[in-house]
């Protein structure tokens, strides 16, 4: 498989994984603190509240797409390339996406954390 196809696969993993994370983060903010809900209404209420969120289910769908994109890309290239590249790029993409779509205040400390963790994951996955 040529390099363009492999990097397209890695790009698909990063985009779908980031979309899944952002959608689930947004959904959970809308649902509210699960600890408080569990204390007030019990575990069943937590489950009902979470699975009735359309955004949460859409996030799950994107996570499934990320998983299958990973499997397909792994059939084209070694895990030593796909693993570190997709995991570290997903950390950076999440920081950008959280700033844009979730309006999180990503200050210099969080950027540094994302870059350090991305670099560390790349080294650890080699």
Partner 1 sequence: MTVRKYLVLLAVVIFGSCGDVCLGRGMRDFGAVTASNWHLLLHAVADPWVILGICFLIGFFCTYITALSWADLTYVLPATALSYVLMALLAKIFLHENVTLEHWLGIALITAGVGFVATGPSLTVETSSTAPGKLPDAANRSDA
Interface ranges with partner 1 (CB under 8 A): 21-22, 24-25, 28-37, 40-41, 45, 48-50, 56, 91, 94-95, 98-99, 102-107, 109-110, 112-117, 119-126
For the bound state, the minimum distance from the C-beta of residue 101 to partner 1, rounded and expressed in Å, comes to 10
How far is Cα of residue 15 from the mean position of the Cα atoms in its chain? 9
For the bound state, the minimum distance from the C-beta of residue 43 to partner 1, rounded and expressed in Å, comes to 10
Which CB sits closer to partner 1, 61 or 110? Answer: 110
List % helix, strand, coil for the chain (3-state, nearest 5).
85, 0, 15
Please, are residues 123 and 80 in contact by the beta-carbon 8 Å criterion?
no
Which CB sits closer to partner 1, 10 or 84? Answer: 84
Please, are residues 121 and 88 in contact by the beta-carbon 8 Å criterion?
yes
Of 95, 103, 105, nearest to 29 (Cα)? 103
Which CB sits closer to partner 1, 12 or 49? Answer: 49
């Amino acid at each position: 498989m040529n390099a363009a196809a492999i990097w397209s696969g890695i790009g698909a993993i990063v985009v779908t994984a980031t979309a899944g994370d952002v959608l689930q983060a947004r959904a959970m903010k809308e649902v509210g603190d699960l600890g408080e809900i569990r204390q007030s209404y019990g575990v069943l209420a937590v489950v009902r509240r979470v699975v009735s969120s359309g955004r949460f289910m859409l996030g799950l769908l994107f996570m499934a797409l990320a998983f299958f994109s990973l499997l397909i890309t792994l059939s084209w290239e070694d895990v030593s390339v796909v693993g570190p590249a997709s995991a570290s790029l997903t950390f950076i993409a999440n920081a950008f996406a959280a700033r844009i779509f979730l309006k999180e205040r990503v200050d210099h400390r969080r950027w540094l954390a994302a870059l350090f963790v991305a670099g560390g994951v790349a080294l650890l996955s080699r």
